[in-house]
Amino acid sequence: MSKAQTIQVELYTDGGCSGNPGPGGWGYLLRHLSSGKEKEASGSSPETTNNQMELMAVIQGLAALQRPCVVELFTDSVYVGKGMTEWMPKWKKNNWQRKEKNRWVPVKNAELWQQLDAQLARHRVKYTRVAGHSGHPENDRCDELAVAAYQHLL
């Protein structure tokens, strides 16, 4: 591991929609472990899905890091977690396709998964699942950011 990758950060993310599909938002909180400095950001889309916003939160959070880092990702999205750890290696091997009823079909949200894959190649990321809406302060904050981001679209 290069010296740059000794930078350790925590990334908390959340995404959501009003309706699924519908107006949606994403939010993240980045915490640099040695300094304690934090950065928050959020964004929205007028027509999207919960899964797309969960992915976008992680993509944007990782993209905000200016150098390769060791990242612990905290998310309540099983979709993102399983996608990163279980599904994506198979999808990549099969040209971003998956089997459905004995035939190959394109992976849903392939463009976002490919963006996430590019970000994952820059960093060393460990996925940690948190329970959503369970009083986890950083997860709750990211939920607030995501909801606030799409409120103007309602």
Distance in Å from the first CA to the final CA of the chain: 46
Tell me the C-alpha to C-alpha distance, in Å, between residue 150 and each of 1, 3, 21, 116, 136.
39, 39, 13, 22, 22
Q: Which residue has the tokens 């986890």?
A: 136
At 104, which amino acid appears?
W
Q: How far apart are CA 69 and CA 54, in angstroms?
A: 21
Per 3-state DSSP, the chain is made up of helix, strand and coil in percentages (nearest 5) of 40, 35, 25
Asked whether 24 and 17 are in contact (CB, 8 A), the reply is yes
Q: Which residues have a catalytic role annotated?
A: 14-15, 54, 76, 133, 143
User: Is it true that the peptide bond before 21 is cis, omega within 30 degrees of 0?
Assistant: yes
